[in-house]
Amino acid sequence: MTHKKASTHHKEEQTIDVSHKSPKDSSPEKQTEQKRAGETSADISAGAQEHPETLKARLDQIEKEKQELYDRLLRTMADFDNHRKRVSKEKEDLLRYGNEKLCRELLPVIDNFERALEQAENSPHNKALRDGIEMILKQFMTVLEKFGVKQFPSVGQPFDPNKHEAMVHQESNEHEENSVISEFQKGYVLHDRLLRPALVAVAKKPAEISQAEESAPDVTLH
């Protein structure tokens, strides 16, 4: 009797184990994986059965989109490079010409120093004053030159409307026509940019010479 009961108890344990495994095999995760596997197989079968012309059309469309994206990338890179160069140029110009307004405002101060120096030179009793003004003027110009401000020569040079402003035309036999005779106000540049034009007097031929040239008959050589 004891052996029979033990056998019955052992069968009940086996039944319990089987019932414990069954829910695990039918879990939602397992069912989802099986469903996805079925859908993938269906997609592969559908792709294999798709018409070659349809596949070619899809490939052409993908190639077209890829080329458009590539062209857009090239344009974006070009725009960025142009922007970088423009910013670099603006930064360089700011460093070179950022003080342009200040330097232009200081030029009349230099003019007044030069006038004071001329007045002191005309008076033999003001040597100390003359030397002091000259020293200050040189120091002033040295500072401005560090920032790129320089005078440019005009007297004896051909008249250039890009850097000269003619205040008067004077008849002269000693100077070439259209050359600068004298300066009323000196011209300055900031690096390679005109800061202030020079106010000058320009030579022209005397009236009698011009009339003689106009009245002279043309000579034709045979």
Cβ pair 188, 107 in contact under 8 A: yes
Interval 78-104: pLDDT, tens: 999 999 999 999 898 888 898 999 999
CA distance linking residue 185 with residue 208, whole number of Å: 30
Give, in words, the CATH class of 100-213. Answer: mainly beta
What strands, in cross-sheet order, belong to the sheet with 149-152? 149-152, 187-190, 193-196
pLDDT lower than 50: segments of the chain = 1-24, 219-222
What pTM, to 2 d.p., does this model score? 0.60
Cβ pair 103, 149 in contact under 8 A: yes
Kindly state the DSSP code that residue 192 receives in the 8-state scheme.
T
Q: Residue holding tokens 């069912």?
A: 31
Residue of 179, 182, 172, 178 lying closest to 208 (CA atoms): 172
- pLDDT at residue 4, as a whole number: 47
- pLDDT at residue 2, as a whole number: 45
Amino acid code (one letter) for 67: Q
CA distance linking residue 34 with residue 43, whole number of Å: 14
- pLDDT at residue 217, as a whole number: 55
- pLDDT at residue 95, as a whole number: 85
